[in-house]
Amino acid sequence: MNYETGVEKDKWRPQHEIAADTESRVEIDTTDDADRRKRRRIIIIAVVIALLAAIAAYAMIKGGGAPADTGNAEEAPAVTVVAPGRTTIEGTLSATGTIAARRETSVGVVGEGGRVVSVNADAGDWVRQGQVLVSIDRSVQNQQAAAARAQIGVAQADLDLAQSNLERALKLVERGFISTADVDRLTATRDAARARVQVARAQLNELQARNARLNIYAPVSGLVLSRSVEPGQTVSAGTPSLFTIARGGEMEMLAQVGEAELARISTGTAATVKPVGTDREFSGQVWQIAPTIDQQNRQGTARIALSYNEGLKPGGFATATINSGTLVAPLLPESAVMSDDEGSYVFIIGEDNKIVRRAVETGLITQNGVAIASGLSGTERVVLRAGGFLNEGETVRPVAPRR
Residue 93 included in any domain: no
Question: Within this chain, do residues 155 and 169 fall inside the same structural domain, yes or no?
Answer: yes
pLDDT band, very low/low/confident/very high, at 69 (cuts 50, 70, 90)? very low
- Segments forming the whole domain that contains residue 169: 104-235
For 162, residues 6+ apart whose C-beta sits below 8 A from its C-beta are: 186, 189, 190, 192, 193, 194
Residue 91 included in any domain: no
pLDDT band, very low/low/confident/very high, at 2 (cuts 50, 70, 90)? very low
Question: Within this chain, do residues 311 and 392 fall inside the same structural domain, yes or no?
Answer: no
**What was the pLDDT predicted at 301?**
92
**What was the pLDDT predicted at 131?**
92
Q: How many domains does the chain have?
A: 4
Residue 270 included in any domain: yes
Question: Within this chain, do residues 301 and 363 fall inside the same structural domain, yes or no?
Answer: no
Query: Over the stretch 173-192, which tens digit does the pLDDT of each residue have?
Result: 777 677 778 788 888 988 89
Question: Within this chain, do residues 317 and 334 fall inside the same structural domain, yes or no?
Answer: no
Residue 94 included in any domain: no
Report the CATH number at residue 346. Answer: 2.40.420.20
Question: Within this chain, do residues 356 and 318 fall inside the same structural domain, yes or no?
Answer: no
Residue 68 included in any domain: no
Residue 97 included in any domain: no
Lowest mean pLDDT among 43-52, 90-99, 111-120, 377-386: 43-52
Lowest mean pLDDT among 34-38, 107-111, 376-380: 34-38
Question: Within this chain, do residues 231 and 108 fall inside the same structural domain, yes or no?
Answer: yes
Question: Within this chain, do residues 130 and 202 fall inside the same structural domain, yes or no?
Answer: yes
Question: Within this chain, do residues 195 and 215 fall inside the same structural domain, yes or no?
Answer: yes
Please state the rounded mean pLDDT for residues 373-402: 82
Of 298, 324, 350, the one marking the end of a domain is: 324
pTM above threshold 0.85: no
Question: Within this chain, do residues 368 and 292 fall inside the same structural domain, yes or no?
Answer: no
Question: Within this chain, do residues 308 and 351 fall inside the same structural domain, yes or no?
Answer: no
Lowest mean pLDDT among 23-32, 47-56, 332-341, 365-374: 23-32
Query: Over the stretch 262-272, which tens digit does the pLDDT of each residue have?
Result: 888 888 888 99
pLDDT band, very low/low/confident/very high, at 68 (cuts 50, 70, 90)? very low
3-state secondary structure the chain: CHHHHHHHHHHHCCHHHHHHHHHHHHHHHHHHHHHHHHHHHHHHHHHHHHHHHHHHHHHHHHHCCCCCCCCCHHHCCEEEEECCCCEEEEEEEEEEEEEEECCEEEECCCCCCEEEEEECCCCCCEECCCCEEEEECCHHHHHHHHHHHHHHHHHHHHHHHHHHHHHHHHHHHCCCCCCHHHHHHHHHHHHHHHHHHHHHHHHHHHHHHHHHHHCEECCCCEEEEEECCCCCCEECCCCCCCEEEEECCCEEEEEEEEHHHHCCCCCCCEEEEEECCCCCCEEEEEEEECCCCCCCCCEEEEEEEECCCCCCCCCCEEEEEEEEEEEEECEECHHHCEEECCEEEEEEECHHHEEEEEECEEEEEECCEEEEEECCCCCCCEECCCHHHCCCCCECEEECCCC
Lowest mean pLDDT among 17-31, 143-157, 168-182, 201-215: 17-31
Question: Within this chain, do residues 316 and 334 fall inside the same structural domain, yes or no?
Answer: no
Query: Over the stretch 306-315, which tens digit does the pLDDT of each residue have?
Result: 988 888 889 9
Instruction: Tell me the C-alpha distance between 368 and 327, whole Å.
Output: 14
Question: Within this chain, do residues 225 and 257 fall inside the same structural domain, yes or no?
Answer: no
Report the CATH number at residue 292. Answer: 2.40.30.170
Instruction: Tell me the C-alpha distance between 382 and 84, whole Å.
Output: 8
Of 304, 324, 344, the one marking the end of a domain is: 324
Of 290, 324, 358, the one marking the end of a domain is: 324
Residue 241 included in any domain: no
Q: Which residue has the higher pLDDT, 27 or 150?
A: 150
- Nearest Cα to 368, choosing from 340, 331, 336, 342? 331
